């Protein structure tokens, strides 16, 4: 129980919630699009069951990811992917990602929500598994479930507010991208393939986290300039 009272645990919870807000904001849009043709009386059911199914599936995927991250070099691969996700957060695509087919049947809409969430959740799964690494091995899955449960109402009911805040204060997006870079750096520091090559003290871990955050920021800014030039 003491593990749940540590600063590392609550820091990881905060990171998971922020990741879910930044990378999961599209989920509310997907849910709305998938359920838009349901009769009004069934829309709430579609939202509830679709969200529940998506969350259960995501917990299962993250449980697998937490196990796989113990394999040598996979944390390094995950760290590289997180850096790329962070950069893409700073330099989003102009293409429309919400080509979601609506259904007028309840379970058809639920299936659409779950499948769409699965396709869109790869970045979420990697980022949350990386954030959970800092909270003690025995409580990682409990941390993931807790963080997701706290995030659900934010994603489903508060995403529009968050999206408006992001539009008004772009610094939030920059901070989120740098957070992913930070997680990438600290995750790479604990990869089984490098633990015997790099000293495993907190100072080195923080330094690699800062390096990851700066890498995302600098590459993101460079790509923003290139995009603006085109």
What are 92-148's pLDDT values in tens digits? 665 444 555 556 677 777 777 677 666 556 666 777 777 776 655 556 777 777 777
The answer to whether the CB of 191 falls within 8 A of the CB of 229 is no
* 181 pLDDT higher than 50: yes
> Ranked by mean pLDDT, which of 15-24, 96-105, 107-116, 203-212 comes out on top?
203-212
Nearest-angstrom CA–CA distance, 75 and 126: 10
pLDDT tens, residue by residue, 33-73? 667 677 877 877 877 787 778 778 878 887 787 777 778 88
The confidence score (pLDDT) of residue 174 equals: 86
Give the contacts of 35 (CB within 8 A, at least 6 positions apart).
43, 46, 47, 50, 102, 109, 113
- Supply 33's token pair: 């699009």
Q: What is the pLDDT of residues 138-178, one digit of tens each?
A: 567 777 777 777 766 666 665 556 556 767 887 877 887 88
Find the mean pLDDT for residues 212-228.
91
End-to-end CA distance of the chain: 54
pLDDT band at 210 (very low <50, low <70, confident <90, very high): very high
- Report the pLDDT value the prediction gives residue 68, as an integer from 0 to 100: 74
Decide if pLDDT at 197 tops 60. yes
Give yes or no for residue 11 having a pLDDT over 50. yes
SS3 for 39? coil
Q: What's the pLDDT score for residue 96?
A: 47
CA distance 221 to 211: 15
pLDDT given for residue 155 in this prediction: 62
> In this predicted structure, what is the pLDDT of residue 153?
67
In the prediction, which pLDDT does 219 show? Answer: 94
CA gap 20, 96 in Å, rounded? 20
**pLDDT computed for residue 99 by the predictor:** 52
pLDDT exceeds cutoff 90 at 9 = no
């Amino acid at each position: 129980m003491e593990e749940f009272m540590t600063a590392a645990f609550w820091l990881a919870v905060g990171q998971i919630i922020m990741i879910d807000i930044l990378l999961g904001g599209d989920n509310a849009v997907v849910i709305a699009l998938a359920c838009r043709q349901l009769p009004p009386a069934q829309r709430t059911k579609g939202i509830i069951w679709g969200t529940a199914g998506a969350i259960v599936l995501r917990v299962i995927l993250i449980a697998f990811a937490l196990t796989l991250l113990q394999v040598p070099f996979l944390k390094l691969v995950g760290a590289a992917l997180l850096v790329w996700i962070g950069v893409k957060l700073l330099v989003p695509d102009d293409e429309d990602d919400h080509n979601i087919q609506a259904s007028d049947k309840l379970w058809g809409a639920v299936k659409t929500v779950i499948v769409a969430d699965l396709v869109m959740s790869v970045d979420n799964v990697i980022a949350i598994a990386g954030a959970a690494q800092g909270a003690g091995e025995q409580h990682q899955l409990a941390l993931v479930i807790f963080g997701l449960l706290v995030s659900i109402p934010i994603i489903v009911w508060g995403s529009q507010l968050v999206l408006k805040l992001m539009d008004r204060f772009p610094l939030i997006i920059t901070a989120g991208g740098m957070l992913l870079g930070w997680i990438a750096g600290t995750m790479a520091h604990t990869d089984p393939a490098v633990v015997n090559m790099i000293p495993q003290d907190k100072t080195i871990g923080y330094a690699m986290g800062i390096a990851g955050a700066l890498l995302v920021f600098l590459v993101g800014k460079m790509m923003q300039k290139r995009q603006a030039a085109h």
